[in-house]
Amino acid sequence: MKAAAGLRPRSRASFAWGRCVRGTYAPSDQAREITKSRSFTKPSRVLARFSLDGGHPAAANTNLLLRGFSFRLGGDGQRSEIFTQSVPIHFARTPEQMLAFLAARIRGPDGNPDWEKLEAFSASNPETLHQADYIAAHPLPASFASTTYWGVHAFPATNSKGETRFIKFKIMPVGEERRRAANEATAKAPDLLQGDLDSRIAARDIRFSVMALLDRPGDPVMDVTIRWPDEDRREAVRLGTIVVTGVEANDACDEAVFNPTNLAEGIGRPPDAMFAARCAAYAISQTRRR
């Protein structure tokens, strides 16, 4: 990841540009039907980070379309850290495929990747194009605040009756979704995005519903490159609401050591191979960038 993204010692391996914020989480009455996790059934403070994908912390880059939103919620001993992005699928099914995907994109001395190698890889790994196809077909809105974010993996959720089912996290903006054409949205990003974010935070205008999409028997829970059948029309339960209330110094997020395995009891670890790989990757990245 570092080699493909550019080797900048103190920056994240991906989603390097970010804005650290604070907020609040308020659970809905339905949350406990889905999970007994105290992170999701109790009100708490939130530490969160909006980000742009890629390895450049200044991200003076107009074509970085993918956006991230990571958040920590819950009180002491009951914290959970959820990572979401503005596409519902990942670009690789297995760690080996991800490694080959990234290796094929490493630039040569002329500053370009080996296009033939890249095309050959894509042809023999067609599922690695799903994410790019989705991005091309779904232009992003001009604001972090009106973007929808997905947790991608299927998480086992257990309620207080001991019933367990898979859910997917979907973080949906509350209020209007101001969509603009992709070109317009990214024309001056990230300045445009950051300016919009800061003014909306000042106006207390950023609010998200934390949704749990509910599984059906036979859903593919091991493959993060495909969606569940009819996923956009799935039955969904609103677990709660996040309100962004202020900007935090970026140091607060840089030092917070978010890890996808930090999940309070009631939400378990997704069973797919990519989630297992992530557990180590975040810890290694955080150690190196300190």
Query: Could you list the residues that contact ligand HEM (CB under 6 A)?
Result: 1, 12-15, 18, 49, 51, 68, 70, 83-85, 90, 98, 152, 224, 253, 258, 274, 277-278, 281-282, 285-286, 289
Whether the Cβ atoms of residue 118 and residue 105 lie closer than 8 Å to each other: yes
In 3-state terms, what secondary structure has residue 279? helix
The total number of residues shown for the chain amounts to 290
Residue in this structure with the two tokens 């095309």, named with its chain if needed: 119
Min. distance of Cβ 139 from ligand HEM in angstroms?
A: 19
Min. distance of Cβ 235 from ligand HEM in angstroms?
A: 22
Min. distance of Cβ 199 from ligand HEM in angstroms?
A: 21
Burial class (CB in 10 A: 0-12, 13-18, 19+), 56: middle
In 3-state terms, what secondary structure has residue 138? coil
Min. distance of Cβ 129 from ligand HEM in angstroms?
A: 16
Whether the Cβ atoms of residue 124 and residue 100 lie closer than 8 Å to each other: no
Residues 6+ apart with CB under 8 A from 31: 40, 41, 237, 239, 240
Nearer to ligand HEM, 20 or 157 (CB): 20
Nearer to ligand HEM, 41 or 70 (CB): 70
* Alpha-carbon distance values, 22 to 16, 66, 204 (Å): 19, 22, 11
Question: How many other C-beta atoms lie within 10 A of the C-beta of residue 52?
Answer: 25
Nearer to ligand HEM, 155 or 282 (CB): 282
Nearer to ligand HEM, 84 or 186 (CB): 84
Structure token pair of residue 17 = 């540009």
Nearer to ligand HEM, 36 or 72 (CB): 72
Min. distance of Cβ 177 from ligand HEM in angstroms?
A: 20
Best CA proximity match to 39, nearest among 70, 68, 76: 76
23 DSSP β-pair partners: 46, 244
DSSP label at residue 144: G
Min. distance of Cβ 161 from ligand HEM in angstroms?
A: 29
Min. distance of Cβ 89 from ligand HEM in angstroms?
A: 8
Nearer to ligand HEM, 125 or 285 (CB): 285
In 3-state terms, what secondary structure has residue 269? coil
Burial class (CB in 10 A: 0-12, 13-18, 19+), 250: middle
Nearer to ligand HEM, 41 or 166 (CB): 166
Min. distance of Cβ 244 from ligand HEM in angstroms?
A: 14
Nearer to ligand HEM, 10 or 45 (CB): 10
